[in-house]
Amino acid sequence: MGQLLTKERIRARAPAPVPKELLPLGQILDGDCIAAMRSLPDASIDMIFADPPYNLQLGGDLSRPDGSHVDAVTDHWDKFDSFATYDAFTRAWLAEARRILKPDGSLWVIGSYHNIFRVGASLQDAGFWILNDIVWRKANPMPNFKGTRFTNAHETLIWASMGEKAKYTFNYTAMKTLNDELQMRSDWVLPICGGQERLRKGGHKVHPTQKPESLLYRVMLATTKKGDVVLDPFFGTGTTGAVAKRLGREWIGCEREGLYRDAALERIEAALPLDESALKIMQSKRAAPKVAFGTLVETGWIAPGTVLTDKKRRFSASVRADGSLLNGTLTGSIHSVGAGVQGAPSCNGWTFWHLEHQGGWKPLDAIRQLYLLSTEP
């Protein structure tokens, strides 16, 4: 078993695989992740999922418009002196990760714009070969309260093999099935972790950055086989372990905070392998195609300056560059200006406003339908 010299091993000049009995399966290694990984043998892990500190570098306190306080990530483990310090830390854990991964294993890392560019460059430098970058589009992100930037509504994952020519596992058909018979894309719409799933103690969240199980579910289903060994060097409250158990994968974690370790063990203990019907519930729905009026302006379907009227041509308004309408001194969205000219409390601008199109007088909604048709796969 496993010690025989198979054709594949000879061709790959790979050493004999490490027997699973020598690995601390189903255990959370205490302490610093680099030291913990050092205790593992070479080429023994099938997949690593890493959620390292993001190095957020937050400024002062932040309040919502209603005056309530935003509970930020201020934990000591997210603090680094400089980019150089963070890079050194990143290179160190990536080197250990590379040593313990099998030649046909793969690496996942998740991050935000604060750290992901540094991590991505470092892992390329270390010899990893990027297979995809995946965008987790959050269905329900925190808004930008001060109106100073775009709402930070996504995080980025990198999926990489051991090298340009290295093999890796990708369950293409499973992904296609999960995505209603269309190829799974590099952008995934998933909700953030909350509700029942969020671990709480005394009314407070146990970990500030607990990841949703749906995210790990898709990662593991896509890029590991049943029985594979998955390592998470930043285990936290054990989402990776819980999902691994549910999907019949082996897991190993590294975590230095005792509070997190305890919560994770309790959680994983309670996790049950999923049956088929439960799997279906985990599937993500495809994002409903939603088109903002501004998109039609940006994409040239409706030119700025176009004059819109209502069906009976009693009212008119002109389109501006940002998709707002102008009627005398009245400006705003298609809905608010539609309401304004009628003196109505509200109005569906999509059906209220009309324009000349191909010889006919059509509601905006008809243009939106045409746009949607043109962008369908």
The token duo for 31 is 């302490």
**Is 77 a binder of its own copies (CB under 8 A)?**
no
**Is 135 a binder of its own copies (CB under 8 A)?**
yes
Q: How many CB atoms lie within 10 A of CB 306?
A: 14
Rule CB under 8 A: which of 97-126 touch its own copies? 112-114, 116-121, 124-125
Q: Which does 251 bind (CB under 5 to 8 A by kind): DNA, its own copies, none?
A: none
Cα–Cα distance, 235 to 33 (Å, whole number): 9
**Is 183 a binder of its own copies (CB under 8 A)?**
yes
Cα–Cα distance, 249 to 228 (Å, whole number): 5
Rule CB under 7 A: which of 264-323 touch DNA? 284-286, 290, 292-293
Cα–Cα distance, 362 to 310 (Å, whole number): 10
Task: Tell me which DSSP letter residue 67 carries.
Answer: S
Shortest approach of its own copies to residue 138 CB, angstroms? 9
Report the half-sphere exposure of 55 (CA within 13 A, side-chain side).
19
Q: Which does 72 bind (CB under 5 to 8 A by kind): DNA, its own copies, none?
A: DNA
Rule CB under 7 A: which of 313-372 touch DNA? 332-336, 346-351, 365
Q: Which does 279 bind (CB under 5 to 8 A by kind): DNA, its own copies, none?
A: its own copies
Rule CB under 7 A: which of 37-56 touch DNA? 51-56
Of the two residues 27 and 85, which places its CB atom closer to its own copies in the complex? 85
Are 189 and 287 contacting, i.e. CB atoms less than 8 angstroms apart? yes
Q: Which does 208 bind (CB under 5 to 8 A by kind): DNA, its own copies, none?
A: DNA
Q: Which does 198 bind (CB under 5 to 8 A by kind): DNA, its own copies, none?
A: DNA
**Is 74 a binder of its own copies (CB under 8 A)?**
no
Of the two residues 88 and 142, which places its CB atom closer to DNA in the complex? 142
Report the half-sphere exposure of 123 (CA within 13 A, side-chain side).
29
Amino acid at 104: D
Rule CB under 8 A: which of 283-312 touch its own copies? 284, 292-295, 297-300, 303-305
**Is 147 a binder of its own copies (CB under 8 A)?**
yes
Q: Which of 149, 226, 313, 314 binds DNA (CB under 7 A)?
A: 149
**Is 197 a binder of its own copies (CB under 8 A)?**
yes
Q: Which of 42, 71, 187, 266 binds DNA (CB under 7 A)?
A: 71
Q: How many CB atoms lie within 10 A of CB 168?
A: 18
Sheet containing strand 229-232, edge to edge, reads: 27-30, 250-255, 229-232, 45-50, 101-111, 154-161, 129-138, 187-190
Rule CB under 8 A: which of 319-348 touch its own copies? 319-324, 326, 329, 331-333, 335-336, 344-347
Rule CB under 8 A: which of 1-60 touch its own copies? none
Which one of the spans 14-22, 147-155, 220-228, 245-253 is the region binding DNA (CB under 7 A)? 147-155
Rule CB under 8 A: which of 149-178 touch its own copies? 149-154, 156, 158-159, 164, 170-178
**Is 281 a binder of its own copies (CB under 8 A)?**
yes
Contacts 24+ apart (CB under 8 A), 17-26: 17/43, 17/44, 17/102, 18/42, 18/43, 18/44, 20/229, 20/250, 23/229, 23/250, 23/252, 24/252, 25/229, 25/250, 25/251, 25/252, 26/241, 26/250, 26/251, 26/252, 26/268
Q: How many CB atoms lie within 10 A of CB 85?
A: 12
Shortest approach of DNA to residue 22 CB, angstroms? 27
Cα torsion angle, 139, 141, 145, 148, sign: negative
